[in-house]
Structure 1
Amino acid sequence: MKLILKPLLYSTFLGLVAFSSCATQKVQINLDNVTRDTALNVPHGNEIIVSVYENLSTGFMWNLEGPNASVQLLKEEHKSQKIPKGMVGVGSTKVYVFKALNPGKCELAFTYSRGWEPSGGIHKRIILTVE
């Protein structure tokens, strides 16, 4: 019994270690803290979560240009802030979730602007190198 149990426990332990090393890591970026351009190295398979404050009631919103084949956009969502009683025009946090797929360079360009205005706004870039 001991001879069978010991190898079984050992192989189970190795399997759990191998499985845990394959877990997806999450890289979080707050775009509010990015001045203009930022570069980042990300291992393939990792998730990149970009969050940024916006206030849609002003007409301004963040728009994404990109990504390419190195990165896939998994989801884009708004997380509303608590609205105090009687207050209107409360902002929210926009969240982009990407997956680093293939090795290579990728530029994620974000613009905070009003869609009906011809130009201007705030421009920020994240230059990703997927390893």
Structure 2
Amino acid sequence: MKRMVLGTAAALLLCACILGAGCTGGEPADVTTPTPTENGSVGMANPAAVWCEQMGYGYEIRKDASGGEYGVCIFGNGMEADEWAVYRAAMGAYNETANGTVVDVTKGDVVAIALAENPTTGYGWNATLSAGLTLLNDTYVVDDHPAGMVGVGGTRTWILRADGTGDQTFSAVYKRPWENATAQDETFSLSFTVA
């Protein structure tokens, strides 16, 4: 019994010594605050700028009259638009599920329409825009596929800006360009009410 009491006392004394050693004061750590960079950059890529460049578009940062910076996507045809407007439109592109619908937009809004296409079969979308819609860009991107695979389809994407007010329409027919249009051709139509 005496041995158990001495063992417990020794263990308690050891714990007290360890805890006491951790509570001693020392020199405070030298803490320095990092100096912010001149432009406040945190090194994170701008997703809209990255997307513009990944799609093969030009990209520029410009200054407005008050000195603020903004970015623009510059398309191969020379048309350009605000980087974020284009990015938001592309990320929320209208597709086959929007066929035959009417969408409310504001004058100046940028929208994207993305439809499946397979030009290796000779078929392609022939699009028509009403006068109040401006075509900013028309791009075809092939789907990912194993090297050497042929006959792979992809996506045709149109980026439009609503420049006119009132009812505007985007329509397209999926056909071979050398064939006459028929009632069996696949069609797509999206109407816009521009305010």
Report the TM range for the smaller structure's normalisation: 0.7 to 0.9
Kindly indicate whether residue 125 of structure 2 is the aligned counterpart of residue 62 of structure 1.
Answer: yes
RMSD of aligned residue pairs (Cα, Å): 2.1
Q: Which residue of 1 aligns with 2:180?
A: 118
Match of 2:38 in 1: none
Which structure is higher in strand share?
Answer: 1
CA distance in structure 2 between the partners assigned to 1:33 and 1:58 by the alignment: 23
Match of 2:159 in 1: 97
* Aligned residue in 1 for 2:141: 79
Give the superposition deviation at 1:24: 4.2
Contact conserved, 1:67 with 1:73, CA < 8 A, in 2?
no
The unaligned stretches of length 5 or more in structure 1 are 1-14, 16-22
Q: Which structure's relative contact order is higher, taking Cα pairs within 8 Å and 6+ residues apart?
A: 1
Counterpart of 2:186, as a letter, is I
Count of residues in Structure 1 that have an aligned counterpart in Structure 2? 109
Q: TM-score, normalised by structure 2?
A: 0.51
* Identity among equivalent pairs (%): 25
Q: Secondary structure at the match of 1:57?
A: helix
Say if 2:173 is the partner of 1:128: no
How far is the alpha carbon of 1:100 from its aligned partner? 1.1
Contact 2:111 2:159 in 1 (8 A): yes
What SS class does the counterpart of residue 112 from structure 2 fall into? strand
In 1, are the aligned partners of 2:96 and 2:188 still within 8 Å (CA)?
no
Q: Deviations over 1:10-61 (max 9, x none)?
A: xxxxx9xxxxxxx748443333223x41111101111011111100111110
Distance of aligned partners of 1:24 and 1:92 in 2 relative to their CA distance in 1, 3 Å threshold: closer
Q: Which residue is 2:113 aligned to? A: 50
Q: 1:92 to 1:24 in 2, by over 3 A?
A: closer
Q: Which runs of 5+ in 2 are unaligned?
A: 1-65, 67-83
Cα distance in 2 for residues equivalent to 1:83 and 1:99: 32
